[in-house]
Amino acid sequence: MMMDEDVEQASLMSFNDRPRAFPNMRSKTYSPLIFRIIRKLNVRVLSIILLFCFGAIFYMGASTSPIILFVFTVCIISFLLSIYLTKWVLAKDEGPPEMVEISDAIRDGAEGFFRTQYSTISKMAILLAFVILCIYLFRSLTPQQEAAGLGRAMSAYITVAAFLLGALCSGIAGYVGMWVSVRANVRVSSAARRSAREALQIAVRAGGFSALVVVGMAVIGIAILYSTFYVWLGVGSPGSMNVTDLPLLLVGYGFGASFVALFAQLGGGIYTKGADVGADLVGKVEQGIPEDDPRNPAVGDNVGDCAARGADLFESIAAEIISAMILGGTMAKKCKIEDPSGFILFPLVVHSFDLIISSIGILSIKGTRDASVKSPVEDPMAVLQKGYSLTIILAVITFGASTRWLLYTEQAPSAWFNFALCGLVGIITAYIFVWISKYYTDYKHEPVRTLALASSTGHGTNIIAGVSLGLESTALPVLTISVAIISAYWLGNTSGLVDENGIPTGGLFGTAVATMGMLSTAAYVLTMDMFGPIADNAGGIVEMSQQPESVREITDLLDAVGNTTKATTKGFAIGSAALASFLLFSAYMDEVSAFANVSFKEVDIAIPEVFVGGLLGAMLIFLFSAWACAAVGRTAQEVVNEVRRQFIERPGIMEYKEKPDYSRCVAIVASAALREMIKPGALAIASPIVVGLVFRILGYYTGQPLLGAKVVASMLMFATVCGILMALFLNTAGGAWDNAKKYIETGALGGKGSEAHKAAVTGDTVGDPFKDTAGPSIHVLIKMLATITLVMAPVFL
């Protein structure tokens, strides 16, 4: 809420001129009114309302735990910092009118699509909220909930409210990402006329703004929900709910976030890449005009990338925080730890520190050249890398401090140190993942060069080589994640925390801590991620406004760096998803145990039904990828036909005499994206529910208790494993194709216009839906499956 107001305030000047920004987002009827009211209020009244909100939040925080107070404080400081960053970015000049004109066109397209897309998503969210409400009104409660006097209706309202809040926050996260990037791109282009370093700094600070907002919102949203439930339900007082059971009430928030993220990623990916592939196929391959040429009627834009990445990382963080809280609570209960709040709130603190250290990392990137660097040309990647290294060093320190602060317990005095090591495992894993994806997608290394060489023998060998490269690139990450899971589990298990029978119980929480370690620099990574589409767009604006060669060189350099950071952050995202996967279905099993009141500890795939569940889960990933890729393919075909038509009907376009009809192409991709995102999205949501229900019924008739829950667990696990591999394959192959093309464009193997280049462009177009539609959608899918099973668990029993 508050966040949203900040955004409005910061953008008041340019925002008021364009009153089209997502009126449909909040809810169908009230939001425009709220909008109007807020705009009518004067600053003094607004400040009072804000202060009142702050007061209420801090009051609840103080009643819950001092840790929550700390979290609130950090989040609010980082929001203030993000306002400063926006103001700083917006204060930069927009450059000459021709740039502004193009930037406006991109903004119009992006905001228009965002509005229609999110109005569709919000309708679906409301529909789903009703379904959840109905299901929860007829389901059972956990014995703890019953004991705490939490009725069915109450639990239903809580879950639905959490779901809607999660969906809303995710929508805001997406909006913020889109909002800043369509404003920053033109400022980066303009700055590129002056200095590369200044352009870099603007892109980083713009990315940093949305990263801080996204991470901060995930943290503060959960913290608010937690403390609200804590105060409201009187947790901890005799006869009421136990604090260790509280995190289970938050699952709706995670599901809401991933629900919106899934459709945002799908729709955005199809929109951007449909336009992109179509434009490349006719423009580059058939007509031989360069990328982002103004003569091409189909110019891609970046709504998909920015909005979707924001929503994706938001739900990653939210889902992982919630499952780590559930596992922390379960473990604390089993070990009978006196004050369990440290274990439960640990993830929130880690991300609070994340906000602090990432801010330092972002601010460490200066607008003028580092005097100590001797080389005439500065590598922007090195600058970003330096900031990342700083952030990582700080992360190691703060993570160690957080474990000592929160995870110290007298029952196992050295446990905190083991968990600190788990965090280190996570941080190292993140680093290795980033390194591996760089190795496979950067043209400085062997794989992409081999791929480029394969282009010289034709389209066919290029595709075969790219597919092989992508498939092969799954091996090292899987080995890394295997070592990480086992060693974190082992560290946790040997931490000295034991249950009442003396059995070590810290293993799962160890993997949870490792995941937190991996995500402990999330805000900085998200900044680098957001940097990519902003730089890409800035390059497009420079190209289309026909700036001199020197300016293009700077934006090309930033664009190439953006490609690398995009690829590496995808590696990071899938790495954290992989590490979190084990955590997420452990949380699911804990939840099923709580609801069914029987121990649910095994998923035995030697039972045929459970095995079949696995088969279906793996199949789900294949089918989902198929539909996501096909959607882009179909959209691109429509675009190709439209562009061909325009070139034929308006022969003047090629000689710059006629202006192409851009809006027609935008309308085609927008409507196609909205149409095409439904099928894969619905598949992802419906299939775990259907499978769970079918096998629940089958289990009832064949006398196998918990069959539905077991089959869903196995489905989830196989889908996760397959999804990790498929996403790695799709992301890496796509990134490698893109960079193989870029490598040839540097003049290798015949350079631009050669046969090798044409083959490489084919690879690039194939890679587009792989790396920007299907691949990232699978990240979201994996976590959405986990959160939907968490929310729907009572249905499968």
Q: State which amino acid sits at residue 258.
A: S
For every residue of 215-283, DSSP letters joined together read: HHHHHHHHHHHHHHHHHHTTTTSTTS--GGGGGGGGHHHHHHHHHHHHHHHHHHHHHHHHHHHHHHIII
Smallest separation, CB 620 to its own copies (Å): 9
Q: Extract the runs of DSSP E, i.e. beta strands, from 374-442.
A: none
* Nearer of residues 9 and 637 to its own copies, judged by Cβ: 637
* DSSP code at position 290: P
Query: Does 464 contact its own copies by CB under 8 A?
Result: yes
Query: Does 762 contact its own copies by CB under 8 A?
Result: yes
Which parts of 412-441 interact with its own copies (CB under 8 A)? none
181 with 306: CB under 8 angstroms? yes
How many residues bind its own copies, per CB under 8 A?
A: 81
Smallest separation, CB 446 to its own copies (Å): 13
Determine which residue in the list 32, 55, 143, 460 makes contact with its own copies, applying CB under 8 A.
460
Determine which residue in the list 9, 119, 457, 754 makes contact with its own copies, applying CB under 8 A.
457
Smallest separation, CB 90 to its own copies (Å): 38
* Nearer of residues 390 and 615 to its own copies, judged by Cβ: 615
* Nearer of residues 197 and 771 to its own copies, judged by Cβ: 771
Kindly report the backbone phi and psi dihedral angles of residue 369, in degrees, each rounded to the nearest multiple of 5, phi listed first.
-65, 145
Kindly report the backbone phi and psi dihedral angles of residue 498, in degrees, each rounded to the nearest multiple of 5, phi listed first.
-130, 155
Determine which residue in the list 580, 605, 709, 793 makes contact with its own copies, applying CB under 8 A.
605
Query: Does 721 contact its own copies by CB under 8 A?
Result: yes
Helix (H, G, I), strand (E, B) or coil at 498: strand
Which residues are within 8 A (CB) of 275 and not within 5 positions of it... i.e. 6 or more apart?
298, 299, 300, 301, 635, 639, 665, 666, 669
- x/- mask, its own copies, residues 664-703, rule CB under 8 A, reads ----------------------------------x---x-
Q: Which listed range, 13-21, 99-107, 459-467, 541-549, lies at the site for its own copies (CB under 8 A)? A: 459-467
Smallest separation, CB 295 to its own copies (Å): 18
Query: Does 601 contact its own copies by CB under 8 A?
Result: yes
Query: Could you tell me if residue 750 is left (phi over 0), alpha (psi between -120 and 50 degrees) or otherwise beta?
Result: left
Kindly report the backbone phi and psi dihedral angles of residue 412, in degrees, each rounded to the nearest multiple of 5, phi listed first.
-145, 85
* DSSP code at position 368: S
Determine which residue in the list 150, 454, 557, 669 makes contact with its own copies, applying CB under 8 A.
454
Show the CA angle centred on residue 315, arms to residues 311 and 319, nearest 5°.
180
Q: Which listed range, 156-164, 220-228, 457-465, 646-654, lies at the site for its own copies (CB under 8 A)? A: 457-465
Token pair 């193997």: residue: 749
Dig out the tokens for 756 from the structure: 């090798």
Determine which residue in the list 485, 519, 573, 748 makes contact with its own copies, applying CB under 8 A.
485
Which residues are within 8 A (CB) of 66 and not within 5 positions of it... i.e. 6 or more apart?
none
* Nearer of residues 365 and 725 to its own copies, judged by Cβ: 725
Q: Which listed range, 48-56, 259-267, 431-439, 477-485, lies at the site for its own copies (CB under 8 A)? A: 477-485
Determine which residue in the list 129, 277, 584, 672 makes contact with its own copies, applying CB under 8 A.
277
Helix (H, G, I), strand (E, B) or coil at 705: coil
Kindly report the backbone phi and psi dihedral angles of residue 294, in degrees, each rounded to the nearest multiple of 5, phi listed first.
-65, -15
Can you state the angle between helices 251-280 and 97-137, rounded to 10 degrees?
140
Query: Does 756 contact its own copies by CB under 8 A?
Result: no
Determine which residue in the list 260, 685, 724, 760 makes contact with its own copies, applying CB under 8 A.
724
270 with 676: CB under 8 angstroms? yes
Which parts of 487-506 interact with its own copies (CB under 8 A)? 489-490
Determine which residue in the list 612, 654, 678, 693 makes contact with its own copies, applying CB under 8 A.
612
Determine which residue in the list 88, 611, 654, 750 makes contact with its own copies, applying CB under 8 A.
611
* DSSP code at position 409: B
Q: Which listed range, 35-43, 212-220, 302-310, 580-588, lies at the site for its own copies (CB under 8 A)? A: 580-588
CA 262 to chain centre: 9
Q: Which listed range, 21-29, 242-250, 294-302, 450-458, lies at the site for its own copies (CB under 8 A)? A: 450-458
162 with 253: CB under 8 angstroms? yes
Determine which residue in the list 586, 739, 777, 787 makes contact with its own copies, applying CB under 8 A.
586
* DSSP code at position 408: -
Q: Which listed range, 65-73, 339-347, 375-383, 622-630, lies at the site for its own copies (CB under 8 A)? A: 622-630
* Nearer of residues 522 and 691 to its own copies, judged by Cβ: 691
Which residues are within 8 A (CB) of 76 and not within 5 positions of it... i.e. 6 or more apart?
54, 220
Smallest separation, CB 538 to its own copies (Å): 26
Determine which residue in the list 589, 592, 781, 792 makes contact with its own copies, applying CB under 8 A.
589
* Nearer of residues 531 and 624 to its own copies, judged by Cβ: 624
Query: Does 453 contact its own copies by CB under 8 A?
Result: yes
Helix (H, G, I), strand (E, B) or coil at 339: coil
Determine which residue in the list 769, 775, 776, 794 makes contact with its own copies, applying CB under 8 A.
769
Which parts of 343-382 interact with its own copies (CB under 8 A)? none
* Terminal-residue alpha carbon distance, the chain: 36
Determine which residue in the list 1, 50, 356, 478 makes contact with its own copies, applying CB under 8 A.
478
Smallest separation, CB 652 to its own copies (Å): 24
Query: Does 62 contact its own copies by CB under 8 A?
Result: no
* Nearer of residues 136 and 737 to its own copies, judged by Cβ: 737
Can you state the angle between helices 608-649 and 775-792, rounded to 10 degrees?
140
What's the rounded Cα separation, in Å, for the pair 284 and 290? 6
What's the rounded Cα separation, in Å, for the pair 46 and 63? 26
Q: State which amino acid sits at residue 99.
A: M
Which parts of 173-232 interact with its own copies (CB under 8 A)? none
Dig out the tokens for 502 from the structure: 């003396």
Smallest separation, CB 581 to its own copies (Å): 9
Smallest separation, CB 753 to its own copies (Å): 16
Which residues are within 8 A (CB) of 433 and not within 5 positions of it... i.e. 6 or more apart?
477, 480, 571, 572, 574, 575
Query: Does 622 contact its own copies by CB under 8 A?
Result: yes
Smallest separation, CB 273 to its own copies (Å): 10
Which parts of 110-169 interact with its own copies (CB under 8 A)? none
Which parts of 278-297 interact with its own copies (CB under 8 A)? 280-281, 285-286
Q: State which amino acid sits at residue 70.
A: F
Determine which residue in the list 125, 636, 673, 709 makes contact with its own copies, applying CB under 8 A.
636
